[in-house]
Structure 1
Amino acid sequence: MAVKLGANRYGKAETRLVHVVRDGPVHHLKDVNVSMSLSGDMEAVHLTGDNAAVLPTDTQKNTVYAFARKHGVGQIEAFAQRLARHFVASQPAVRHARVEIEEYAWRRQGPHSFVRDGTEVRTCLVHHDEDGRTTVVSGLKDLVVLNTTGSEFHGYAVDEYTTLPPTTDRVLATAVTARWRHDGDTPSYATSYGQVRQALLDAFAHTHSRSLQQTLYAMGERAITTCEGICEVRLALPNKHHFAVDLSPFGLDNDNEVFHAADRPYGLIEGSVLRADAPDAGFAWE
């Protein structure tokens, strides 16, 4: 039976970097997790074990630290682009570089004192290839939101296994994972991030929801229509179920005041919203 080498890539995953900028007595903190992978003319290493085209993953890790010292980190999208372009330009065998970064937020408590700011994580994914094409996808994950009312769920399909009662008033909670694709250069990734994040929050808060799918679309639509330079938003919304507790055995009523927050199983709603004229995504999301 004939076989051949398929798509492949290699790299260094989860390089943890904390960068402190010492601006006199006031310090600035960046806390990131960098993963990168390279692909290109790598047939020989797979087929014969010839490592001549392989830049060691340890070197890739060291490059992250060296670039932080030489150039700073700044906005994670810009840092990811510097790394990706470096690997493609400096290594003849590398045709494509993929760099993914997570950033963990810290809130200032003093000139050099910080406290970790919740569970929300800022993300980015950058691809760059030998033809000079660069795509940038920004995002966030673990943004936990909850509406105590303004959510319904009824009129759904039923069969012999359906036990869920319909409701016109329920708690709607989710941990948002959102990624958005930039259409060309974005002058300020920090400004864009703040705008998209606020658009997602506003849509969640002000949409009377008849389904989490409807809320997903409203969130994506708000981001696309109010944030310049964003051509596609992809969302994953786990339904963090809150079930009203039956207090009747104790002689008590429960008018949607006492809930059990279940962690699993949960519904998972996923979808994308894009501008009608959005350019082809290509490899942007992979």
Structure 2
Amino acid sequence: MAIMLGDNQYGKAETRVVRTVRDTDRHEIVDMNVSVALAGDLSDTHLTGANDKVLPTDTQKNTVFALARDGIDSAEDFGLRLAQHFTGGQRSIDRATVTVQEYTWTRHGDHTFSRSDGGEHREVTVVNDNGASDVTVGLRDLLLLNSTDSEFTGYIVDEYTTLAPATDRILATAVTADWHFSETDVDWTKAFETGRTALIEAFRDTYSLSLQQTLYAMGAKVLEDLPEVDRVTMSLPNRHHFLVDLEPFELDNPGLVFHAADRPYGLIEGTVTRK
């Protein structure tokens, strides 16, 4: 039986870096979680234990901090700089993947900020493969809810179906979305805000007959508003809200009181692309 090494990579995951800008009394803050994965001519370390082509993961961590010292214009620019540094500086490294999660702090003064743990955040993935860069930008846990303008009817009914048709329901989701750029000469900050706004506006403006329909409308809106994007991939969990039966208490419930279910939940996923 022949045994061989397949695709492999290694790196430093989740280096937390906070960069402040203190040029004036009004400070700025950037908070990121940076993961690096390197691939290339690395078979020897797996097959023989030789480490002469391995850049230590501790060095990768230090590189993140050192390049942050020079300044961070955007998550995308920082990811591009890091990926290009690793592939340009090491002959054994052909591909570098840098993933940057960026957390937003709310300003409460010149040097006071607040941030809730978890919640929505920006995510950027940069791949530099033999000198060519590829950028995907997106967000995680964008919570959206429509209190009406959503229904779900006309579905398959079999012997196990108990779900009643809904002609006026709450539609809620926690959006995971990624949009892939066909170029890298981009105003990254403006593009991210445009993409985020497009998702929200499409969710708001679509009378939803299914979450699948809403997913397509959201992806199409991003493509319409960002010509430099060639595809949008989304994952939309259906955060179910069930109407509570108040009849045991001799009360009606005309779409007023709901139970927000945690799990199980429907999960709708898809990619919208240009032709």
Give the TM-score, by structure 2 length.
0.98
* CA shift digits 1:25-78 (9 cap, x unpaired): 111000000001000001100000000010000000000000001x21221011
Asked if structure 2 preserves the Cα contact closer than 8 Å seen for 1:186 and 1:229, the reply is: no
Amino acid at match of 1:264: R
Match of 1:124 in 2: 124
Amino acid at match of 1:126: V
Structure 2 gaps of 5+ residues are: none
Amino acid at match of 2:158: D
* CA shift digits 1:144-188 (9 cap, x unpaired): 000000000010012111111111110000000000001112431
Amino acid at match of 2:192: Y
Amino acid at match of 2:273: L
Match of 1:237 in 2: 236
Amino acid at match of 1:22: R
Match of 2:35 in 1: 35
Q: Which moved more, 1:224-233 or 1:5-14?
A: 224-233
CA RMSD in angstroms comes to 0.9
Identity of aligned residues (%): 54
Match of 2:272 in 1: 273
Match of 1:148 in 2: 147
Instruction: Work out the CA distance in 1 between the residues paired with 2:185 and 2:123.
Output: 16
Compute the displacement of 1:112 (Å).
0.3
Instruction: Work out the CA distance in 1 between the residues paired with 2:39 and 2:193.
Output: 33
Instruction: Work out the CA distance in 1 between the residues paired with 2:59 and 2:212.
Output: 44
Amino acid at match of 1:63: T
Aligned residues: 274
Instruction: Work out the CA distance in 2 between the residues paired with 1:76 and 1:176.
Output: 20
Asked if structure 1 preserves the Cα contact closer than 8 Å seen for 2:133 and 2:184, the reply is: no
Poorly superposed stretches of 4+, deviation over 4 Å: none
Match of 1:206 in 2: 205
Give the TM-score, by structure 1 length.
0.94
1:26 aligned counterpart, secondary structure: coil
* CA shift digits 1:164-222 (9 cap, x unpaired): 11111100000000000011124310000011111100000010000000000000001
Compute the displacement of 1:129 (Å).
1.4
Match of 1:184 in 2: 183
Bigger strand fraction: 1
